[in-house]
Structure 1
């Protein structure tokens, strides 16, 4: 399975967000540390920013650079002139969007898509196809696209309307119609709060590609979070092919480049999610960290923080004294707990052990 990171394009669609070319390129370089298959850099037909970003990243990134284009000659030409490795042509496929956006029948939209795909090939890039609003379109109307187009095809839940059970059923319906799931890409939005879950369902059913964005950055509620999808799959024993030890540092570097804050409680990348202060937790984790962790944060370039202070219990104090090579008598335990309670804020493990050594 391949990951396509869409952070650089999707983040610019958040109202009020404007990133400089240099910010976007710095974020793209950070993503390159992850060994992603694809990085979607922008929509060159929209102007100089996306054109420049695509051109410059195409020169330096190890992974393939993807530019998007409507099924129009000028859009395709702009993407080709930006030196994209892959030009992803997108067309609506649902009746609602065909009528509202193009005023065309589905067959007419497919004809325009084929013309655009041929133009991409003639221009020396690889074509991909995205079918907008596919998950609100009958599977019977989507399946013929896989016979008609000999390219990678991404199906989108454009308005974030679907849930994991629906996604699983829909993909199985396509498989029942003869569509090989390893030809399918998926693109979800988080309007119902289940984008990451939808991506995981699709990945486990065997799709070829999953679109993700760092910290779910994207229009409206965003997209499946790269870090969440990657860690969840790895925790289940699935080899994502990513540079695991770079995951957390690279995601934080992307957010830093874009001047986006990191929520301390954000799954995987937030500092709070691998920080532990509860007396019961820290006591057990001094012996076996997996007691209260779903994964080892160090595997993904993060760190575990065990904190000690007023909430530290007797079991944790005992473990600290043992680490300090002290006999954990009742008197020493009481003394250590008193010292920890006096700290203005919780302290790290090394500092707590140093206090125990002084007793």
Structure 2
């Protein structure tokens, strides 16, 4: 399954955000180092900023640079002028969206798709189609679109984040009976907290592409987290999606810094606290064998574990630090060191070892 990163487009559409061109270009170049297949960096019809970003990145990246466009000739012409490697045309086929969002019939929507795809194909540019609100569209209309439309990829968008793993499985099974799933993509939203799980379901169903974003940056609750999907792929499926897994977390953190975005301290993989341990039982055991209380070695994805020693440290942890410092762990020394930890902690492992040496080697 190929990954298409939407951080720079979806993140820029969040309320109160407006990344400048330099931020998007710098972040795009960093993301490209991961080995992603596609970077969706902007919406050319919205202004010169996104067109500049596309024009600058397209000749510099190994990833294909994607610009999005409504199924409107002028949108597509602006994407072509920006020299996007891929133009992703979007529009709905669901009853709700057709009636209330754009006010056209399904037949007219198909006509619009076909007109702009003809324009893209005439220019020799790779064309993708995204079906807005696909998971609330009758499967027969999605099958019809994948059959009729002359596009390399047809992406099914869970636009309002209503899908769950079970409903995603059911929906994909219904369309995969009639079309090659490798030609399908998924664009998912995390309103129910299961976007990454839904992306895993799509991978298991043979879907050819999934849209992701760093730290789930995106409208409302965001999109499947790039770092989560890559880590799950590597650990669960032995498939990191051609991403350089050992650089995953440093690159994601660099992107967040460039875009001036923060994540919660307990955000999976990226939060500052998720690879920290201070519990007495945990630190005592992990000094000897970290795997006892870790789902994976953080270094596998470019992260670092932090064992902290402070008021919560027990006798076993203090004993382990003394042993690591080459000092006999007598009961008296353990008690003294625990008192030092309570006063001076929390300390990282190397700081705790230095404290032990300074306390007992003088």
TM-score of Structure 1 vs Structure 2, range by shorter chain: over 0.9
Distance in 2 between the 1:329 and 1:205 partners?
A: 58
**Residue 194 of structure 1: aligned partner:** 194
The Cα RMSD (Å) is 1.3
1:327: how far off? 2.1
Distance in 2 between the 1:185 and 1:137 partners?
A: 15
**Residue 300 of structure 2: aligned partner:** 299
Distance in 1 between the 2:139 and 2:220 partners?
A: 26
Q: Secondary structure at the match of 1:59?
A: coil
Unaligned runs of 5+ in 2: none
Aligned length in residues = 357
Distance in 2 between the 1:235 and 1:346 partners?
A: 31
Of 319-328 and 274-283, deviating more is: 319-328
Q: Could you tell me whether the CA contact under 8 Å between 2:153 and 2:185 is conserved in 1?
A: yes
Q: Could you tell me whether the CA contact under 8 Å between 2:213 and 2:224 is conserved in 1?
A: yes
Aligned: 1:59 with 2:52: no
Q: Secondary structure at the match of 2:88?
A: strand
**Residue 336 of structure 2: aligned partner:** 335
Q: TM-score, normalised by structure 1?
A: 0.96
Q: Where in structure 1 do 4 or more consecutive aligned residues deviate above 4 Å?
A: none
Cα deviation code 1:304-359 (max 9, x no counterpart)? 1111011111111121111112222222211221221121x300101111222231
**Residue 122 of structure 1: aligned partner:** 122
Distance in 1 between the 2:319 and 2:15 partners?
A: 52
Distance in 1 between the 2:114 and 2:24 partners?
A: 31
Q: Could you tell me whether the CA contact under 8 Å between 2:165 and 2:201 is conserved in 1?
A: yes
**Residue 213 of structure 1: aligned partner:** 213
**Residue 36 of structure 1: aligned partner:** 36
Cα deviation code 1:245-297 (max 9, x no counterpart)? 11111111111111111322111111100011111111111111111111211
Q: Could you tell me whether the CA contact under 8 Å between 1:184 and 1:209 is conserved in 2?
A: yes
Q: Could you tell me whether the CA contact under 8 Å between 2:113 and 2:149 is conserved in 1?
A: no
Aligned: 1:270 with 2:271: yes
Q: Secondary structure at the match of 2:269?
A: coil
Distance in 1 between the 2:274 and 2:31 partners?
A: 22
1:108: how far off? 2.3
Q: Secondary structure at the match of 2:91?
A: strand
Distance in 2 between the 1:107 and 1:238 partners?
A: 43
Aligned: 1:19 with 2:19: yes
Distance in 1 between the 2:354 and 2:265 partners?
A: 27
Distance in 2 between the 1:354 and 1:103 partners?
A: 70
Unaligned runs of 5+ in 1: none
Of 184-193 and 320-329, deviating more is: 320-329
**Residue 6 of structure 1: aligned partner:** 6
Distance in 1 between the 2:81 and 2:292 partners?
A: 54
**Residue 83 of structure 1: aligned partner:** 83
1:42: how far off? 0.7
Distance in 1 between the 2:139 and 2:284 partners?
A: 53
Aligned: 1:287 with 2:283: no
Q: Secondary structure at the match of 2:174?
A: helix
Q: Secondary structure at the match of 2:307?
A: strand
Q: Could you tell me whether the CA contact under 8 Å between 1:252 and 1:262 is conserved in 2?
A: no
